[in-house]
């Protein structure tokens, strides 16, 4: 095993990887942008190096600077986390050329699966079912012709895409040209590659993905599924493991297909095979993510396997620590993605300083976070600020535990998605497990209001605060009005006694 | 002291009395109300029932979060109630729709120009923020009266981008 690792990332995932390294007794090196000097990953690492100004393209995306730090700090391996350079084959190649181990798949595999068109071709050759669509890079006019074959509604997707970027839903052929133009421009600016493909919309469908582990000796196993259908505009908000939609037989079938897909790609390290599962329980390969996944903790919680440590072992050339028959799912795990967005204001990004923080703890709760009091949430990076994960012996227990943990979680200074999660966990559809990928966008609304009981309490609180303010009006300056979108301090109001 | 709290057109009569009591719509409670954290987190014991609330104020509105439920409350006493009534009578409809930036970002395109007729829900500005392109649409049909930005402009939250007449 190597002795020293550089983590080319920031935020909660950098902290997550640092922890795994620490627990394996490895030395750690963090990199940071100028605004992240005080960040937890800088403070938790053994060494930390500034790699440039706040914008990611001038720091966390600077391959040259990261490699330079790796050489100066004499690390042997680099973990990319997710996002930033995690699926950048150029970065993986640069590591190899510098004699560094990239903790992830070989660059040519990453390139093959990162090109969604190539990935569709690769896995379909192995008999894995793929969502109907196009299999070649096409020019605009060719796409218009192909669209008639694929059928509407359909998705225009970026071959280099992910996370909903460069992706457009199209209902009719009239809307296709503008959707292609918009998707191409978004894909070019996000990925530097405007290649697009078409994919029929399989609806209603669940998003089910399988965690894969593969070593360099040809062993490939899966760690079961994750249910990721709770999505808002194609961004996952809640994930769970296992899924209510699978029984043992289907799990085995899909797991088998996932392993076949990973083998077809020549995959090494931790990866994820994403499927759509329709109402008739047909499943289709969607894409492969050639990296650690945001929602990996739910799999860890039900299997007891530390995926990041396995990544480090695999990258050091060791064989997998587990055989397929060793992998058992036990109980139920759920993750909420806590984002700096205001759910009561159209999920607009919210920025500002964390003025107070109280994090949930207690039995069965795991929090992946990079927050601390005084931390400044900026617009420079992804709005994901923490992941709240719980485990319970069954789904009902996990849901109750998540509700409990959410009610303990207090973040002051910015608006967060926590109220959204609290309302979602009151939804009978969600609690009943009756949902697909359209649930959040089409059948779940978040409006102000709630029970009569909390309304009455709110009325009392507002009256008490108004009263308090009147009593002190002559001695205390008037409150400063907070700007929209943040639960900010609102002046010199004190508790009413 | 008597207050009227209004939540979504529903009114609550709240009287704050002596000895830490509060009367709401005729029911009397013992109340213990404390600021516990960071100037926005409150703990309320209402006849020993424990509540936690996150409170923000925007102008005349209190935005109160209790267990994920958001209540937007406006409080009036006798004097402010009369004033609100008078203001309401004066308010006039301007007939213009202002398309504002909902967040800071980069203008990627303005697919309309001054004088264009637009349909309700038609996209008038493409704004890039947090790596996503967002199409800003007009809430109603009309004519483009002003275009105040062009592709490449950086804009602040709340900035008016396009005016529809």
> Over the stretch A25-68, which tens digit does the pLDDT of each residue have?
999 999 999 999 999 999 999 999 999 999 999 999 999 999 99
Cα A154 from Cα A170, distance rounded (Å): 5
Q: What is the pLDDT at residue B77?
A: 82
- Reported as a single tens digit per residue, the pLDDT across B39-63 is 899 999 999 999 999 999 887 899 9
Decide if A478 touches B, using CB distance below 8 A.
no
CA A165 to the chain's CA centroid: 14
Please name the member of B7, B65, B104 whose beta carbon is closest to the beta carbon of A419.
Answer: B65
- Reported as a single tens digit per residue, the pLDDT across B67-121 is 999 999 999 987 676 666 655 544 434 567 888 887 788 899 999 999 999 987 7
**CA closest to B27 among chain A residues:** A456
Q: How far apart are the first and last CA of chain B?
A: 46
Choose which CATH entry (3.30.70.600, 1.10.375.10, 2.40.50.100, 3.50.50.60) describes domain B97-164: 2.40.50.100
A181 domain residue, yes or no: yes
**Chosen domain end from A178, A200, A222:** A200
Same domain, A350 and A383: yes
A221 min Cα distance to partner chain B (Å)? 35
Split at pLDDT 50, 70, 90, the class of B161 is very high
Same domain, A475 and A376: no
A108 domain residue, yes or no: no
- Reported as a single tens digit per residue, the pLDDT across A152-161 is 999 999 998 7
- Reported as a single tens digit per residue, the pLDDT across A216-226 is 999 999 999 99
Mean pLDDT of B141-153: 91
Decide if A96 touches B, using CB distance below 8 A.
no
Q: What is the pLDDT at residue A406?
A: 98
Cα A264 from Cα A121, distance rounded (Å): 10
Greater confidence, A417 or A477? A417
Is A3 a residue whose pLDDT tops 60? yes
Residue A250 contacts by C-beta under 8 Å, 6 or more apart in sequence?
A281, A283
The residue segments making up the domain with residue A93 are 4-103
**Chosen domain end from A443, A468, A486:** A443
Split at pLDDT 50, 70, 90, the class of A491 is very low
B110 min Cα distance to partner chain A (Å)? 13
Out of A120, A168, A291, A366, pick the active-site residue.
A291
Split at pLDDT 50, 70, 90, the class of B131 is low
With a threshold of 0.90, does the pTM exceed it?
Answer: no
CB B51 within 8 A of CB B33: no
Is A472 a residue whose pLDDT tops 60? yes
Name B37's bridge partners. Answer: B41
Q: What is the pLDDT at residue A307?
A: 98
A63 domain residue, yes or no: yes
Please report how the helices A11-23 and A307-315 are oriented relative to each other, as an axis angle in degrees rounded to 10.
Answer: 70
Q: Which of residues 146-205 of A touch B (CB under 8 A)?
A: 164-165, 182, 185-186, 189-190
* Domain range annotation of chain B: 2-90, 97-164
Q: Is A251 a catalytic residue?
A: no
Q: What is the pLDDT at residue B85?
A: 62
Same domain, A137 and A263: no
- Reported as a single tens digit per residue, the pLDDT across A387-438 is 999 999 999 999 999 999 999 999 999 999 999 999 999 999 999 999 999 9
Same domain, A395 and A358: yes
Q: What is the CATH number of the domain that holds A299?
A: 3.30.470.20
**Chosen domain end from A164, A182, A200:** A200
Tokens of A437: 């990928």
Split at pLDDT 50, 70, 90, the class of B132 is low
Q: What is the CATH number of the domain that holds A59?
A: 3.40.50.20
Average the pLDDT over each of A10-24, A243-257, A463-477 and give the range with the smallest value.
A463-477
Closest CA to A106 of A234, A216, A221: A216
Same domain, A301 and A165: no
Q: What is the pLDDT at residue A147?
A: 94
Q: Which of B40, B76, B151 to mutate to probe the A interface, most A CBs <10 Å?
A: B40
The answer to whether the Cβ–Cβ distance between A494 and B77 falls below 8 Å is no
Same domain, A456 and A438: no
B37 min Cα distance to partner chain A (Å)? 7
A119 domain residue, yes or no: no
Name A31's bridge partners. Answer: A49
Same domain, A337 and A223: yes
A114 domain residue, yes or no: no
- Reported as a single tens digit per residue, the pLDDT across B14-42 is 999 989 999 999 999 999 999 998 789 99
Q: What is the pLDDT at residue A163?
A: 65
CB A332 within 8 A of CB A391: yes
Same domain, A275 and A143: no
Percent of chain A with pLDDT over 70: 95
A115 domain residue, yes or no: no
Rg over CA atoms, chain A = 24
Split at pLDDT 50, 70, 90, the class of B122 is confident
Closest CA to A409 of A455, A352, A367: A367
Count of all residues that appear for chain B in the document: 165
Q: What is the pLDDT at residue B130?
A: 64
B42 min Cα distance to partner chain A (Å)? 8
Same domain, A168 and A305: no
Residue A326 contacts by C-beta under 8 Å, 6 or more apart in sequence?
none
**CA closest to A353 among chain B residues:** B38
The answer to whether the Cβ–Cβ distance between B130 and A487 falls below 8 Å is no
- Reported as a single tens digit per residue, the pLDDT across A181-224 is 999 998 998 888 899 999 999 989 999 999 999 999 999 999 99
A127 domain residue, yes or no: no
Give B-chain residues touching A410 at CB under 8 angstroms.
37, 41, 52, 54
Is B133 a residue whose pLDDT tops 90? no
Average pLDDT, chain A: 93
Residue A218 contacts by C-beta under 8 Å, 6 or more apart in sequence?
none
The number of distinct structural domains making up chain A is 4
Is A333 a residue whose pLDDT tops 80? yes
Split at pLDDT 50, 70, 90, the class of A87 is very high
Instruction: Enter the ipTM.
Output: 0.81
The answer to whether the Cβ–Cβ distance between B42 and A165 falls below 8 Å is no
Same domain, A76 and A137: no
Give A-chain residues touching B103 at CB under 8 angstroms.
348-349
Q: What is the pLDDT at residue A497?
A: 27
Cα A223 from Cα A9, distance rounded (Å): 25
Under CATH, which number does the domain B2-90 receive? 3.30.700.30
Same domain, A59 and A155: no
Same domain, A61 and A99: yes
* Sign of torsion over alpha carbons A155, A159, A162, A166: negative
Tokens of B67: 């267990």
Q: What is the pLDDT at residue A32?
A: 98
The answer to whether the Cβ–Cβ distance between A407 and B71 falls below 8 Å is no
Give B-chain residues touching A496 at CB under 8 angstroms.
33
Decide if B106 touches A, using CB distance below 8 A.
no
Residue A138 contacts by C-beta under 8 Å, 6 or more apart in sequence?
A146, A196, A197
Is A354 a residue whose pLDDT tops 70? yes
Name B72's bridge partners. Answer: B63
Task: Mark residue A485 as left, alpha or beta (left: phi above 0; alpha: psi -120 to 50; beta: remaining).
Answer: left
A265 domain residue, yes or no: yes
Count of all residues that appear for chain A in the document: 497
- Reported as a single tens digit per residue, the pLDDT across A266-317 is 999 999 999 999 999 999 999 999 999 999 999 999 999 999 999 999 999 9
């Amino acid at each position: 095993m190597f002795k020293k690792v550089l983590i080319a990332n920031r935020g909660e995932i950098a902290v997550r990887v640092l922890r795994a390294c620490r627990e394996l007794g490895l030395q750690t090196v963090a990199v940071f942008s100028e605004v992240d000097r005080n960040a937890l990953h800088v403070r938790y690492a053994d060494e930390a190096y500034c790699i440039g100004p706040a914008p990611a393209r001038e720091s966390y995306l600077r391959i040259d600077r990261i490699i330079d730090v790796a050489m100066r700090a004499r690390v042997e391996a680099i973990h990319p986390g997710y996002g930033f350079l995690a699926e950048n084959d150029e970065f993986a190649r640069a590591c190899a050329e510098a004699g560094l181990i990239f903790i992830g798949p070989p660059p040519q595999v990453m390139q093959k699966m990162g090109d969604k068109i190539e990935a569709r071709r690769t896995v379909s050759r192995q008999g894995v079912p793929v969502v109907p669509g196009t299999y070649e890079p096409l020019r605009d006019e060719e796409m218009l012709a192909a669209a008639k074959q694929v059928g509407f509604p359909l998705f225009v997707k970026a071959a280099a895409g992910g996370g909903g970027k460069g992706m457009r839903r199209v209902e009719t052929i009239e809307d296709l040209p503008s959707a292609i133009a918009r998707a191409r421009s978004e894909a070019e600016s996000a990925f530097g590659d405007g290649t697009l493909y078409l994919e029929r919309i399989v609806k209603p469908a669940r998003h089910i993905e399988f965690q894969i582990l593969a070593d360099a000796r040809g062993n490939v196993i899966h760690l079961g599924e994750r249910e990721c259908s709770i999505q808002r505009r194609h961004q996952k908000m809640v994930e769970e493991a296992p899924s209510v939609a699978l029984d043992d037989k289907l799990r085995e079938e899909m797991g088998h297909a996932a392993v076949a897909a990973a083998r077809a790609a020549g995959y090494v390290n931790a990866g994820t095979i994403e499927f759509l599962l329709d109402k008739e329980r047909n499943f289709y390969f969607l894409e492969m993510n050639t990296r650690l996944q945001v929602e990996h903790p739910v799999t860890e919680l039900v299997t007891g396997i530390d995926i990041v440590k396995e990544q480090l072992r695999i990258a050091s050339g060791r064989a997998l620590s587990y055989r397929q028959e060793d992998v058992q799912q036990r109980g139920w795990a759920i993750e909420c993605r806590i984002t700096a967005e205001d759910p009561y204001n159209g999920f607009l990004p919210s920025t500002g300083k964390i003025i107070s923080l109280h994090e949930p703890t207690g039995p069965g709760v795991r929090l992946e976070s990079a927050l601390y009091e005084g931390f400044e949430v900026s617009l420079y990076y992804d709005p994901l600020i923490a992941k709240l994960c719980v485990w319970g012996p069954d789904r009902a227990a996990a849901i109750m535990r998540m509700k409990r943990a959410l009610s303990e979680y207090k973040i002051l200074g910015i608006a967060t998605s926590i109220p959204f999660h609290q309302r979602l966990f009151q939804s009978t559809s969600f609690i009943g497990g009756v949902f697909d990928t359209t649930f959040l966008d089409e059948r779940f609304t978040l409006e102000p209001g709630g029970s009569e009981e909390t309304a009455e309490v709110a009325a009392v609180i507002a009256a008490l605060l108004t009263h308090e303010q009147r009593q002190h009006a002559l001695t205390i300056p008037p409150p400063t009005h907070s700007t929209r979108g943040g639960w900010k301090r609102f002046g010199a109001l004190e508790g009413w006694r | 002291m008597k207050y009227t709290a209004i939540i979504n057109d529903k009114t609550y009569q709240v009287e704050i009395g002596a000895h830490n009591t509060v009367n709401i719509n005729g029911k009397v409670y013992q109340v213990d109300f404390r600021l516990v954290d960071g100037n926005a987190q409150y703990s309320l014991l209402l006849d020993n029932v424990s509540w936690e609330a996150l409170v923000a104020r925007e102008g005349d509105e209190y935005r109160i979060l209790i267990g994920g439920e958001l209540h937007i409350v406006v409080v009036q006493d006798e004097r402010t109630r009369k004033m609100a009534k008078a203001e309401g009578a004066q308010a006039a409809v301007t007939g213009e729709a202002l398309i504002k930036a909902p967040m800071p970002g980069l203008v990627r395109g303005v697919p309309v120009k001054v004088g264009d007729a637009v349909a309700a829900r038609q996209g008038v500005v493409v704004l890039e923020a947090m790596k996503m392109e967002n199409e800003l649409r007009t809430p109603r049909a009309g004519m483009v009266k002003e275009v105040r930005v062009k592709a490449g402009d950086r804009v602040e939250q709340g900035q008016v981008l396009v005016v529809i007449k």
